[in-house]
A and B are shown apart, each in its own frame.
Chain A
Amino acid sequence: MTAAPAMATSAPGPGGQAALEVDSLRVCYAGLPAVDDVSLRVEPGQVAALIGETSSGKSSLALGVARLLPSSAVVTGRVEIAGTDLAGLPAREARRRRASLVGYIAQDAMAALNPVIPVGRQIAELFGVHRGMHRAEASAQAVRELARVRIDRPERVVRAYPHQLSGGMRQRVMIAMAMALSPPLLIADEPTTALDVSTQAEILGLVGQLQAETGSGILWITHDMGVVAELADVVAVMYAGRIVEQGPAGDLFDHPLHPYTQGLLRTRRDLRTGRPGAPLYQIEGSPPALSAQRRGCAFAPRCARRTEICREQVPELMTQGHNLQAGNGPSDASPSRPLAAAASPAGSASAAGQAPDARQPGPARADLLATGWLAACHHPEVLS
């Protein structure tokens, strides 16, 4: 039940071990890149939200991290979970160690749980296999795990089959299983998408509390900016297999630079504040299919700011601190190692420097640059 020593709740400095470090990950299906050169870092105790829609590659990224992709997927790049290269291990060894390294909370708990085994036994099995517990001991542990995810009368629920539980309770069971072995990293793949809004609120609150207790790093995949606002310390926005913008959650909500991020946030704001019956703000077009021709910026066909260069050249993910001042030309943008989506777990803008190669930013926004705010756009702009 105790977290591994390395997983302290406070974020370590830049030299500390990350819960997850992904470097230049690429996942291809039949030669088509679903995840295209993605790098990101999740600190212990941090919630990193990965926001994206259909075919953005967010699920392929998650499965790639957990080494759960089918063998038809070609994966390159480096993934380290708490310093362990899961992908580099022999298959048997990886299977043995996966549950201790990464917990996976799937969207559809009904499909992820075994329908013919009581949920308690499914949890107990983890302790039997990975901790060598005896049956009675493991069963007692299963009850404690259910209590930990705030399930009432856990000693009864352990005997229930998944279909006997409500969607919210099934999702709690999934969370209990994912966290059972106190892994340093949790991956949540849209776990609240199929839930009612009140149940979603309960689950979000629960995850927030559990994380405060365990200090795991969480990679939370979603398409919902509201979920991001509730949970995330840092945000990475994915579009067509690439991260197009990333940074501390509060700053990203305040001054998004990429037109896609801006569109998503404006869509949401318009839903809340617009007059009933009036037309909604809409982003034109739809996300490209995996098979679509790739040239230049993938968002260009939907972008109001596109120019010739957008059609020709893929914009690099780079620091954008200077853009927060008046000027917004790309002239003095400085490419940096896109590896530093890190702020402190509190999301404060004063985290330790994570963009080492950045040139001198404007003094006004030096703090933001230091938090590793990156965008991949030829024409990043701050909207008022």
Chain B
Amino acid sequence: MTAPAPNIEPEVQAGRRAATPVLGFESVSKYYRGLAALDQVSLSLDRGRALGLVGESGSGKSTCVRLALGLERPTSGRLTFRGADYPRSRRRLGTLRREVGFVLQDPYDSLDPRMRLREIVSEPLRAHRLRGRDTDQLVAEMLRAVGLGDAPLDSYPARYSGGGRQRIAIARALITDPAVLICDEPTSSLDVSVQAQIVNLLLDAKRTRDLSLLFVSHDLDLIGRVADTLVVMYRGRVMESGPAELIRSKPRHPYTKSLHDAVPADHPARRKMSTPANLPAATSHPAAGSTARPVVADSPVPAGSAGLAGSTGLAGSAVLAGSAVLAEPTGLAEPTGQSGPDCCVFVSRCPAARARCYAERPPTVTEADGRSHACFFPLAG
């Protein structure tokens, strides 16, 4: 069952022995109604490391999360856990889920308001029929570990602020002692002054429990700070991946660069966006992008043709919700036919696009410094 040394990018552990990844995606694709939400995505999460998935809405981040949780199956490609294929049977999938904890974005949604802390935190034990130790004692231990040592076990989530609730969700995720923790935008609904506490808690758990983190965010600053390895996704494909510091400091893919450029300034004296010339190539308007296409195409779903929808949300669930919502750029639907599956998906927004980018799909190229990118004309690193 062990993967025969697959050609997985990113090969980040330069200098280290490339061990079997805890979690692996090998050329995974996921289609919804013929549209690719994920298109040949390969990832590998090594033990005790943090892998960051970054991208805008519709990039396929959340589809990755759902596949990794075993909630859905890939259309093609292979998902592995400790080198073995993801199980197909429900029961064995249940066993796997014990090893894969998750913390979701909104702790106001993810905690049942009618359950007490004792029930919330111990629920995974019941779900996986793990008994033996005194449950109350274990719950109290977990709550202490997340900084809620004083929390009464019979209190309700309503009593806690957003940060407190997210701590409860982390305690719940860690109670089965998982190998992997999937964090899907775990701080984006929290107050700014509380975000760092939660991130530190996750980093601490990673260190002390030898936990591997799959950290999903649209915030390039945050994810570059948390993850050892970054994977930059756009419309279901991996644009660039590699050591976080390199991707942050010297992006090679124009998309990564445009994400960097769109991050607001750190000081009023260094504004980026006040003048039209400074607008990033990301704009969906022809005025600022030489290759931009009309925003409203003939289809009644203009957003899809713009290739850039602003609303956040699970790309996959948007697709499932109804055909009208296909407006979210989940994949390769290109009404004009200008960019089909055989071209770069970023071509319509790319300031450096050339003829070849419209005609061929750029292959993933791995470089000596351990990062890889899918671009014919990468920026000078």
- Whether A and B are associated in the same complex: the answer reads yes
Chain A interface residues toward B at CB < 8 A: 53-54, 110, 150-153, 156-157, 160, 163-171, 194-202, 204-205, 208-209, 223-232, 249-250, 253-254, 260, 263-264, 267-272, 274-277, 279-284, 286-287, 289, 302, 347
Q: Is B116 an interface residue (CB 8 A)?
A: no
Q: Is B161 an interface residue (CB 8 A)?
A: yes
Determine which of B200, B263, B279, B300 lies in contact with A202 in the assembled complex, contact meaning CB atoms within 8 Å: B279
| A interface SS class | helix
Contact A198 B262 (CB under 8 A): yes
Which of B64-72, B134-142, B174-182, B218-226 contacts its partner?
A: B218-226
Contact B311 A268 (CB under 8 A): no
Give 17 new A-B contacts, CB below 8 A, not counting A169-B310, A232-B268, A276-B225. A54-B162, A54-B191, A110-B311, A164-B302, A194-B310, A198-B308, A202-B279, A202-B283, A202-B284, A228-B268, A230-B264, A253-B269, A267-B193, A267-B195, A275-B245, A276-B228, A277-B226
Determine which of A198, A225, A230, A275 lies in contact with B271 in the assembled complex, contact meaning CB atoms within 8 Å: A230
Contact B244 A276 (CB under 8 A): yes
Contact A271 B225 (CB under 8 A): yes
Determine which of B57, B279, B287, B303 lies in contact with A201 in the assembled complex, contact meaning CB atoms within 8 Å: B279
- List A contacts of B300 (CB < 8 A): 160, 164
- List A contacts of B272 (CB < 8 A): 201, 230
Q: A54-B191, A276-B244 are in contact. Are A199 and B310 (CB under 8 A)?
A: yes
Q: A197-B259, A263-B193, A283-B193 are in contact. Are A168 and B228 (CB under 8 A)?
A: no
Contact A264 B273 (CB under 8 A): no
- List B contacts of A171 (CB < 8 A): 310
- List B contacts of A267 (CB < 8 A): 192-193, 195-196
Q: A167-B310, A267-B193 are in contact. Are A204 and B228 (CB under 8 A)?
A: no
Contact A208 B266 (CB under 8 A): no
- How many chain-B residues does the 8 Å CB contact rule pick out? 74
A53 to chain B, nearest CB (A): 4
Contact A229 B265 (CB under 8 A): yes
- State A160–B195 Cα separation when bound (angstroms): 38
Contact A196 B57 (CB under 8 A): yes
- List B contacts of A225 (CB < 8 A): 192
Per-position 1/0 for B185-224, Cβ under 8 A of A = 0000001111111011001100000000000001111101
- Chain B, range 293-328, C-beta contacts under 8 Å to A: 294-296, 300-303, 306, 308-312, 324-325, 327
Contact A168 B309 (CB under 8 A): yes
- State A157–B192 Cα separation when bound (angstroms): 36
- State A284–B282 Cα separation when bound (angstroms): 37
Name 7 A/B residue pairs within 8 A (Cβ), A-sorted.
Answer: A53-B194, A152-B286, A194-B311, A205-B276, A224-B264, A260-B193, A282-B200
Query: Ordered nearest first, which 5 A-B pairs have the shortest CB separation?
Result: A167-B310, A226-B264, A198-B282, A167-B311, A166-B303
A319 to chain B, nearest CB (A): 21
Contact A150 B191 (CB under 8 A): no
- List B contacts of A53 (CB < 8 A): 191-194
Q: Is B254 an interface residue (CB 8 A)?
A: no
- List B contacts of A286 (CB < 8 A): 161-164, 191, 193-194
Determine which of B196, B269, B308 lies in contact with A280 in the assembled complex, contact meaning CB atoms within 8 Å: B196
- State A47–B41 Cα separation when bound (angstroms): 43
Report the nearest B residue to A226, measured CB to CB: B264
